[in-house]
């Protein structure tokens, strides 16, 4: 399983640029696309079998190890920081170390999950992958971060929501094992966006109203007209730039994108379930990692979600989770049903 934060359509758009001020970015995007294509086969490999139900394992402390690829594409690279050691002085390595810890803490404190796999999986990450590499990804075993091209993208460890997003692919891998294609793939991407923002919100103790609901905030340089890669609150509004184009995410099934690109539009159509989660959080209020987060986490990890789940199947799973957790006719249950109705997904 190989899931990256930058959608292929953004890389393709950037690779076509011929303006001198974006020459490094264009070269970096071309190289990133080559790398993505070279690992497409990894996405076709079967995910680990999903557990038959949620395991109750007492969370332990994180076990983090950070490596430095030194501009190569060889993993894991040189060891630069282990669990409990002082900061290395390398911003990328230390941001990765901190981000892994913040993500581990959300799952442990809020959901009682023992690391990514529920059984204390060590958290490994490699920084400085490739030369000006425009991406970050979960490869099924560890996190990998590029440095960005410096013209369009900054280093990828800068955004905690990116770190939380990519590690959530591991949670999905070890629980529902959602396929990375079509609507199941869009749910896979959306789950990562959900837990990516929750990691950030939990760390900063931000309420639903205080949070930005942006994925990848801080990744763009000042040359880009945009705030982030995606907006869960308002899909389709994260950026509108001469180089990158306009954010293509739909916010309801009325604008669902049917495409064979990007594994059936997994990064585009994820805007629909993203918007549904935000609407639930907005309706319930307070903190999104509480009731909304618990409902989504339960739906993902309960063991009943098929690998090829559609939006409707997932919507029904969240509604059932809301009933199990809060009762039929509860405010939480009503919020879930209304959210899916708003984005035109049938339960």
**Residue position matching structure tokens 């139900």:** 53
Between the CA atoms of 273, 277, 280 and 281, what dihedral angle is there, to the nearest 10 degrees? -160
Helices and strands counted in the chain (H then E): 11, 10
Beta strand extents in the chain (DSSP E only) = 3-4, 64-68, 78-82, 123-127, 136-138, 143-145, 214-215, 230-231, 240-241, 245-246
267 is catalytic: yes
Q: Which residue is catalytic, options 128, 165, 169, 267?
A: 267
**Residue position matching structure tokens 């907006």:** 231
> Which DSSP category does 256 fall into?
P
Adjacent-strand bridge partners of 245: 241
CA-to-CA distance for 116 and 123, rounded, in angstroms? 8
Q: Which residue is catalytic, options 151, 166, 189, 200?
A: 166
**Radius of gyration from C-alpha coordinates of the chain:** 19
Is the peptide bond between 76 and the residue preceding it cis, with omega within 30 degrees of 0? yes
- Can you give the length of the chain in residues? 347
CA-to-CA distance for 133 and 35, rounded, in angstroms? 10
**Tokens in use for 7?**
């959608």
Sign of CA pseudo-dihedral 22, 38, 169, 105: negative
The residues annotated as belonging to the active site are 166, 267
């Amino acid at each position: 399983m190989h899931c990256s934060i930058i959608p292929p359509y953004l890389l393709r758009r950037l690779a076509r640029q011929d303006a001198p001020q974006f020459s490094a970015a264009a070269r970096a995007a071309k190289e990133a696309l080559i790398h993505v294509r070279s690992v497409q086969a990894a996405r076709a490999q079967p995910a680990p079998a999903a557990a038959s139900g949620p395991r109750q394992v007492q969370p332990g402390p994180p076990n983090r190890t950070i490596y430095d690829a030194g501009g190569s594409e060889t993993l894991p690279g040189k060891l630069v920081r282990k669990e409990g050691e002082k900061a290395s002085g390398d911003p990328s390595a230390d941001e990765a170390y901190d981000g892994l810890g913040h993500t581990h803490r959300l799952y442990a404190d809020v959901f009682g999950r023992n690391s990514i796999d529920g059984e204390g999986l060590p958290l490994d990450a490699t920084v400085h992958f490739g030369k000006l590499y425009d991406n970050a990804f979960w490869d099924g075993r560890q996190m990998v971060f590029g440095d960005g091209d410096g013209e369009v993208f900054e280093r990828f460890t800068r955004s905690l929501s990116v770190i939380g997003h990519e590690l959530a692919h591991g949670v999905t891998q070890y629980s529902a094992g959602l396929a990375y294609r079509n609507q199941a793939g869009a749910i896979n991407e959306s789950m990562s966006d959900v837990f990516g923002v929750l990691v950030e919100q939990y760390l900063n103790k931000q309420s639903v109203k205080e949070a930005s609901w942006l994925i990848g905030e801080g990744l763009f340089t000042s040359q880009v007209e945009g705030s982030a890669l995606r907006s869960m609150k308002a899909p389709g509004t994260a950026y509108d730039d001469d180089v990158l184009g306009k954010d293509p995410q739909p916010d309801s099934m009325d604008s669902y994108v049917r495409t064979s690109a990007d594994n059936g539009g997994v990064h585009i159509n994820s805007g629909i379930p993203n918007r549904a989660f935000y609407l639930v959080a907005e309706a319930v209020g307070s903190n999104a990692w509480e009731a909304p987060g618990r409902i989504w986490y339960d739906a993902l990890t309960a063991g009943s979600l098929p690998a090829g789940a559609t939006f409707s199947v997932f919507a029904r799973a969240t509604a059932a989770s809301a009933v199990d957790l809060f009762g039929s006719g509860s405010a939480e249950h009503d919020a879930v049903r209304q959210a899916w109705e708003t984005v035109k997904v049938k339960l």
